[in-house]
Amino acid sequence: MSRTRIVKGNITKIIGGDYKRYSKDDIENSGSKIIQVGKEGGVSYGEPKKPPIIGKKIISVEWLDADENPISKSTSGVNVSLKVRTANYEEGETICLKIKEIDDKEIQKGKTEIILTGKIIKGGISYLKEEIFLESIIFNETQIK
């Protein structure tokens, strides 16, 4: 995502508090003259601080068959997996999902929940491909909590 703003004149910003900009890569200022004014010690250079985390989110969860096609039903004993779309997770970060059956019914013999893990890849996606054998086989209500 990018944003380009073309202004044929001046831009003045008046900020009543702090003004912080964060970038994954470089921040570039260019002009015929660059002026930075601050109180004593007000302009500093060096190692940047990490930006604040803006709420990690799971956007969607999709059940997939063995060929990674979206499914809403399966038969008992067939391997299924999950595709998870996220926001504000870093590539390589681990995500864990707790899978529960409605009304705390058993999802597997002796278990009312299972936990699946996966790594976030480019685009904020993770494929949770651990072998899942579900006794309950209709995926009609995927709820994100």
Query: In this predicted structure, what is the pLDDT of residue 77?
Result: 67
Q: Is the pLDDT of residue 84 over 70?
A: yes
Residue with tokens 């930006």: 51
Stated pTM of the model: 0.56
Q: Is the pLDDT of residue 21 over 70?
A: yes
Domain boundaries, given as residue ranges, for the chain: 57-132
Query: In this predicted structure, what is the pLDDT of residue 143?
Result: 52
Distance CA 132, CA 38 (A): 59
Percentage of the chain beyond pLDDT 70 is 86
Q: What is the average pLDDT value for the chain, to the nearest integer?
A: 81
Long-range CB contacts (within 8 A, 24+) of 98-107: 99/132, 101/136, 102/141, 105/136, 106/135, 107/134, 107/135, 107/136
* 111 or 16, greater pLDDT: 16
Query: In this predicted structure, what is the pLDDT of residue 112?
Result: 80
User: HEC profile for 95-127?
Assistant: EEEEEECHHHCCCECCECEEEEEEECECCCEEE
